[in-house]
Amino acid sequence: MTTNPSLRKRPNGHLLFAQQFFRHPRQIGSIIPSSGFLERRVIAAADIAAARCVVELGPGTGGMTQAMLGALAPDARLLSIEINPLFHEQVSRIEDERLIAHLGSATDVRAIVTSHGLAAPDAIVSGIPFSTMSAAIGSQILAEVAAVLADTGRFVAYQFNPRVGALAQPVLGTPQVAMELRNIPPMRVFRWAKSQA
């Protein structure tokens, strides 16, 4: 019996994540998606439940995206920005009217937010690995984040490496930092409040 190629099962989220990690290690911060413990810590740090507009930079296969949607208010919006086409396709399959999946670069976050007619984000959550990109690109992304974030907004970055803290210092100030050990690898969760920058 032959199988229609279009009906073959696509890789599951964990397998796709691992495949893309090996193909694009500088774009992806971990070999496996975030744990539930990390998701809950990030959601609390960003105060997702109180946000009306949230931007996610680097949603990967959508685990954190779905967790945030679970905490998001019914009338809120979540814009995910993903540079990897396969990850973007995976996130685009999430059925939730509050989600806008956008294929593009975090370096253009201000223009992307504007193109979708969204208000200044109350929270921006980032899983992109600032440790593997150039300092120039990292600084550009963080300047965009600081510029587009609402006056009382929060920026939360979950990272294996602490480099984002130094890169963000000129535009966002000193972060609060917590460790989530119940994740592989353990992750630092950085939180900036724009009103305190």
* CATH code of the domain in which 43 resides: 3.40.50.150
12 within a domain of the structure (yes/no): no
The mean pLDDT value for 59-72 works out to 95
- pTM for this entry: 0.85
Three-state secondary-structure class, residue 113: helix
149 within a domain of the structure (yes/no): yes
6 within a domain of the structure (yes/no): no
13 within a domain of the structure (yes/no): no
What pLDDT, on a 0 to 100 scale, did the predictor assign at position 172? 97
In this predicted structure, the answer to whether residue 197 has a pLDDT above a threshold of 70 is no
3 within a domain of the structure (yes/no): no
pLDDT tens string 129-185: 999 999 999 999 999 999 999 999 999 999 999 999 999 999 999 999 999 999 988
Domains in the chain: how many in total? Answer: 1
19 within a domain of the structure (yes/no): no
Parallel, antiparallel, or unpaired for β 154-159 and 187-193?
antiparallel
pLDDT tens string 7-47: 333 334 444 544 444 454 444 444 467 899 999 999 999 99
Q: Residue 111: give the domain boundaries.
A: 26-196
Distance, CA of 154 to CA of 125 (rounded, Å): 8
- Which of 39, 59, 58, 61 shows the shortest CA–CA distance to 48? 39
10 within a domain of the structure (yes/no): no
